[in-house]
Amino acid sequence: MTSLMITDIRKSCLDQDFDLITGVLTSNNGNSSGRALAVEKRSLLVLESATADRDIPSMGIACGDQYIRMRAKPEHGLSVGEEITLDSI
């Protein structure tokens, strides 16, 4: 099962009504400690999905990590360090 470890949350400088959330994809081989993500309640929009070609320490991304950047309403309820499963996406 694939999970997403939240590594960075910051306010969008272009749209103050949203947060930018960054997460690194992890594979936990069926041993999920994360919770299912209720997309319809969180109003997430994927902005970018890529493999890092260099370290980006400010966002918690290491070279080679597969990561996703998303836009979310401030009431998303997610926090840095939280692991969520991608079952509901």
pLDDT tens-digit profile of 3-47?
A: 889 999 999 887 778 999 999 998 766 555 556 554 444 567 889
Residue 12, burial from CB neighbour count under 10 angstroms (0-12, 13-18, 19+): middle
CB crowding 48-60: b at 16 or more within 10 Å, else e: eeeeeeeebeebb
**Model pTM score:** 0.78
- Pick from 34, 21, 23, 22: which is nearest to 83 by CA? 34
Residue position matching structure tokens 């890092």: 52
Q: Does residue 53 carry a pLDDT above 60?
A: yes
Per-residue pLDDT, averaged over 48-61, amounts to 94
Query: Please, what sign has the CA dihedral across residues 56, 57, 58, 59?
Result: positive
What pLDDT was estimated at residue 12? Answer: 83
